[in-house]
Structure 1
Amino acid sequence: MEKPINLQAPSFILGIDVSKDSLDVCLVRVSDKLQLCHKLNNNPSGFRRMKAWLKQHGCEAGADTLCCLEHTGLYTRQVVHYLLARDVQVWMESALQIKRSIGMVRGKDDKVDAQRIARYALLHQREARCLNLSGVTLERLKDLQANRGRLLKALQSIKVTIKELIAVDPVSGKTLEQVNKKAIKGIEESMEQVEEKMQEFIAKDGELKKKYDLLTGIKGVGKVLAISLLVYTQGFTKMDDGRKLACYCGVAPFEYRSGTSVMGRTGVSKFANKELKHILHMAAINSVRFNEEFRLYFERKVGEGKSKMSVINAVRNKLLHQIVAVVKRRTPYELKLKNI
């Protein structure tokens, strides 16, 4: 999904604050730090006007331009696709990262936000990790993954309601089961179609297919976890370090102490991707059940007096480190990584 920025520094920095209906643009000319601002509509007509405005000020909006935006979900999608199609270097950065880099600020304004984004990009341009066109595949996978989650939630809601009703009122429960039979079948078929479409998109992208095959080659890593990791790590280009990925998933242990008076228990941070953590947890449970190495490790640690939950968390960490290792080495787990 991402690639390191070109060695040649960009001639222009473009900071864009994106909202549903508008774009606040701040153009910085690197040579003399000249700063210009403009407001446009967040639609194809606005993009064309932005290109014309940039050209008036000497910016061709091509490979010599670095554009930085915050992650704001669907609202950035159109402008990102427009810029990528014109070879602009597009850098999607965390809003929290930009906010914390600025320090204490007062007030909020879209124009000022665009200026802050441009300033951040100018100061940290050597750290930029830019998108490429293969990111479109990951976007589609993310959309399908979210849709699968909604279908699964709806299916579980119906099934759990029926199961609980049958337990207390069998007649009413059976009636509910009968009238929802077609709905349940339809949702299950839709989920199958979503999963087929995900596999189709992965198969069309050679690089993603290689990484997907490496991930699913690890015993305990299923297609749901593999696709989730590819989406959230942007094809293992945003996070390629086991420790960082463990932090992101909320399974890395941290100490809590200060001097001699504060001695808290070591634990994991709540600042994490909870959806990915849940999927990883289920994969760790399956690994303990079906992976001989992890099963023996679990039994040994529990036998030593460790709590089951802490050992499961250790398994989650080990699983992530194995995943990162096979992606980095580009070799299957069975052939290279047999020691736990």
Structure 2
Amino acid sequence: MKDVPAPQSFYVGIDVSKDTLDVSCLTQAGFHNYGQFENTRAGLQKLNRWLLQQQGFEYTTALFCMEHTGIYTRQPVEFLLLRNARIWMESALHLKRSIGMIRGKNDKVDSYRIARYAMVNKDEAKLVSPSNGILQLLKDLLACRTRINKSIQSLKVSVRELQRVDKASGKELDKLNKAALEGLKKSKTAIEKRMQELISSDPELKEIFALATSVKGVGRVLATELLIYTHKFTRMNNIKQLACYCGVAPFTHSSGTSVRGQTRTSHFANMNLKTTLHLAAMSSTQYVPDLRAYYRRRVAEGKPKMCVINAIRNKLLHRVLAVVKRGTPYLLNYAEINLVKS
């Protein structure tokens, strides 16, 4: 009777690009194999057959690792999740810095380095869970809305700058761009309407969205972005993690006795979310009474304005996270909560 090989822990590194998947398989025993496949459904089927040919390979015991490359990872991830595979999506910058000094690169070598990284750092793996279909569609709609906003702003700024130096040409371009701007604005309105319909269709999303927007200063866009990027506040339910992800957590910059830099925020953050949060904080300094009073008092005490605005960003995050965890809407006077409970 032929012996059946025992399942081994395979570490599969996948270098994802628009057209191809470069795949390297490693094991602790020193096994190494490489293959290249098209980033299509047909190519994924060939990948499946190739993987099953590796002696001792099983999807449930293997660890797949790949970089975040936007929409191009969507098909491979869905394909692997259907087979109950363990998937680790790692930051490209994190991977690059973990490797150390290197000379030269190509897709084949990159896939090997990713597999090697997964094998060495397997205890730190953060596995991907099946994504919510509504959240994925919301993310795509939000990205489309962002692109439309940039297009509108680009058209407006270019015409405005031209009018400063050549009023006749600027006026003519303004007339010609009017139809395009109106079309973009209609598309933006339709996208926002669709996003609201999706949120309302899911009871859990609807409840969390209502709680987040109950906080004064937090609008629909910021609440939607927080819902999407935190996966309904399940990925980052700690205020320090959330503040760090949004780029508003302060970090010291010092070393020994000679380096004494200013405490500052980090640029390693979700810049889209940070921008929206900043706009919400700026609006709060004008229209939210308690935050407006806080801003004026701290500035009068000599605090730098941006430092105070960053504190307001953190306050907004604290309040949103608090109401979501508590499950009750935000109340300006906390004493009112005790009255409601009693």
Contact 2:211 2:330 in 1 (8 A): no
Choose the corresponding residue for 2:186, options 152, 165, 189.
189
Which deviates the most, 50-59 or 178-187?
Answer: 178-187
Q: How many angstroms apart in 2 are the aligned matches of 1:116 and 1:206?
A: 43
Task: Give the 5 Å matches for 1:72-91.
Answer: 72-91=69-88
Map of 2:4 onto structure 1: none
Contact 1:26 1:38 in 2 (8 A): yes
Map of 1:324 onto structure 2: 321
Map of 2:211 onto structure 1: 214
Are 1:133 and 2:130 counterparts? yes
Map of 1:50 onto structure 2: 47
Structure index of larger Rg: 2
Q: 1:21 to 1:230 in 2, by over 3 A?
A: same
Task: Give the 5 Å matches for 1:4-83.
Answer: 11-29=9-27, 32=29, 34-57=31-54, 58-61=56-59, 63-83=60-80
Superposition RMSD on alpha carbons, in Å? 3.0
Q: How many angstroms apart in 1 are the aligned matches of 2:136 and 2:188?
A: 18
Contact 1:141 1:231 in 2 (8 A): yes
Map of 1:6 onto structure 2: none
Contact 2:8 2:57 in 1 (8 A): no
Q: Deviations over 1:110-131 (max 9, x none)?
A: 2332222223223333433323
Deviation of 1:164 after TM superposition, in Å, equals 5.5
Map of 1:311 onto structure 2: 308
Deviation of 1:311 after TM superposition, in Å, equals 0.7
Deviation of 1:234 after TM superposition, in Å, equals 4.2
Identity over aligned pairs, percent: 50
Q: How many angstroms apart in 2 are the aligned matches of 1:309 and 1:319?
A: 15
Q: How many residues in Structure 1 have an aligned counterpart in Structure 2? A: 328
Choose the corresponding residue for 1:155, options 143, 152, 157.
152
Q: 1:72 to 1:291 in 2, by over 3 A?
A: same
Deviation of 1:333 after TM superposition, in Å, equals 4.6
Q: 1:118 to 1:259 in 2, by over 3 A?
A: closer
Q: 1:160 to 1:336 in 2, by over 3 A?
A: closer
Q: 1:170 to 1:238 in 2, by over 3 A?
A: same
Q: How many angstroms apart in 2 are the aligned matches of 1:335 and 1:10?
A: 55
Query: What runs of 5+ residues in structure 1 fail to find an aligned partner?
Result: 1-8
Q: 1:164 to 1:117 in 2, by over 3 A?
A: closer
Q: How many angstroms apart in 2 are the aligned matches of 1:23 and 1:303?
A: 58
Q: How many angstroms apart in 2 are the aligned matches of 1:176 and 1:22?
A: 43
Using structure 1 for the length normalisation, give the TM-score: 0.83
Letter in 2 for 1:134: S
Using structure 2 for the length normalisation, give the TM-score: 0.82
Deviation of 1:244 after TM superposition, in Å, equals 3.0
Deviation of 1:334 after TM superposition, in Å, equals 1.4
Map of 1:5 onto structure 2: none
Is the partner of 1:198 in helix, strand or coil?
Answer: helix
Is the partner of 2:142 in helix, strand or coil?
Answer: helix
Contact 1:51 1:60 in 2 (8 A): no
Map of 2:294 onto structure 1: 297
Deviation of 1:176 after TM superposition, in Å, equals 4.3
Letter in 2 for 1:125: K
Q: How many angstroms apart in 2 are the aligned matches of 1:97 and 1:79?
A: 21
Letter in 1 for 2:92: A
Is the partner of 1:17 in helix, strand or coil?
Answer: strand
Q: How many angstroms apart in 1 are the aligned matches of 2:160 and 2:106?
A: 51
Contact 1:10 1:66 in 2 (8 A): no
Are 1:116 and 2:126 counterparts? no
Letter in 2 for 1:331: G
